[in-house]
A and B are shown apart, each in its own frame.
Chain A
């Protein structure tokens, strides 16, 4: 118990140093007239409420049910997503890549943390951390194993390293047993990781 408490206090003091620094910086930026604190609050609120994997899930579900949309999406991701009107404005350079029985796609940014924010929200910590960034391009099957994902030996794995302002979204394969499902039902099956390529959509009837 005392060990636990000690550990906890230690973590807390480290955090406080950073917190103080952040507060100091915000005070300076405010006092110098560079930023309005209420505008910072509004940015945070907008990120917390408006972006997230539900945006990408809707695009995927639409592609699963509408062949013409899917074709347009694979040709020009930004343009096709723009027609849905649910994201304030998707970046100009969204590339959607399709998983098939012969090819599995996976997205990484080895140099920093590039990620399709409008489609998936802010990236999870693991996406921005060294283990994923270092190994995804060299040992993608090993990385997938860390997620509990195993692919057939013969399937091609294509890793997309996001080294420019292009952004990549994986279009996963539609789960079997979903014939006749509505777009809204299908969107509930689409996970964030399935759109990064480190997971699959949920199966019908699987616990969410």
Chain B
């Protein structure tokens, strides 16, 4: 979806402001939110792509005005309501009003903590041979899916070169809507800065994205 989360190339957000000696969390509740998201994900309530999709579908003014973990909180509430794990009324009142829905991997307990410290595996066996190889010229398709995609707007329609082949991975565009993993080949595609930002832009800049094969066409 063409949401405000797709920020590459936008102007007007001001300077980057690094915070010296920044703490890992700025308030205790941020840590609770992070832990709840990790725990419910590990318990099988949702996959990582679905959780990203729910954050992206927050109303634009809410997305832009909310801190990072506030977005995580709002996205988690919406997701758990959307998937029927909790009711809107429960979020509003803090009281349980309907019975629980079974979780794919059961209740998240102490013994499960090590599982969230290990990153998920996203590589999959290739169902078909790769269409592209390093050195190939490709164009990022001019597509505008209404649901989750990992093809940023700023490269669409532009020509780049395949630089690396990462093998086949879970396709986020499918996984986000729970339409299955639908594994696709994944490539690093590099673009000249001037291809993306015009002839007056800095000629020393190159930008790459990691692009799934359905995002690309030969050029």
List residues of A whose CB falls within 8 A of some B CB. 15, 18-29, 31-36, 38-44, 46-48, 50, 88-93, 95, 108, 110-113, 117-118, 121-122, 124-126, 128-141, 143, 146-147, 153-166, 193, 198
Q: Which of A20, A40, A136 contacts B39 (CB 8 A)?
A: A40
Taking A42-B113, A132-B16 as contacts, is the C-beta distance between A164 and B11 under 8 angstroms? no
Taking A18-B70, A138-B197, A159-B208 as contacts, is the C-beta distance between A32 and B86 under 8 angstroms? yes
Could you tell me if B208 and A147 are in contact, using CB atoms closer than 8 angstroms? no
List, in ascending order, chain B residues with CB within 8 A of A23's CB.
29, 94
List, in ascending order, chain B residues with CB within 8 A of A89's CB.
118-119
Q: Which of A38, A40, A131 contacts B14 (CB 8 A)?
A: A131
Taking A22-B29, A23-B94, A126-B19 as contacts, is the C-beta distance between A166 and B202 under 8 angstroms? no
From B5, B33, B121, B207, name the one whose CB has the most chain A CB atoms within 10 angstroms.
B207
12 contacts between A and B (CB under 8 A): A25-B86, A34-B85, A39-B110, A117-B119, A122-B34, A125-B19, A129-B13, A134-B8, A158-B208, A159-B207, A161-B208, A193-B18
Could you tell me if B10 and A33 are in contact, using CB atoms closer than 8 angstroms? no
Could you tell me if B166 and A156 are in contact, using CB atoms closer than 8 angstroms? no
Could you tell me if A111 and B110 are in contact, using CB atoms closer than 8 angstroms? no
Q: Quote the shortest CB–CB distance from B146 to chain A (angstroms).
A: 16
Could you tell me if A25 and B19 are in contact, using CB atoms closer than 8 angstroms? no
List, in ascending order, chain A residues with CB within 8 A of B154's CB.
110, 137-138
Closest B-chain residue to A29, C-beta based? Answer: B36
List, in ascending order, chain A residues with CB within 8 A of B33's CB.
22
List, in ascending order, chain B residues with CB within 8 A of A35's CB.
36, 39-40, 43, 107-108
Complex Cα gap A118–B212 (Å): 24
Q: Which of A48, A132, A140 contacts B205 (CB 8 A)?
A: A140
List, in ascending order, chain A residues with CB within 8 A of B109's CB.
36, 39
Could you tell me if A134 and B18 are in contact, using CB atoms closer than 8 angstroms? no
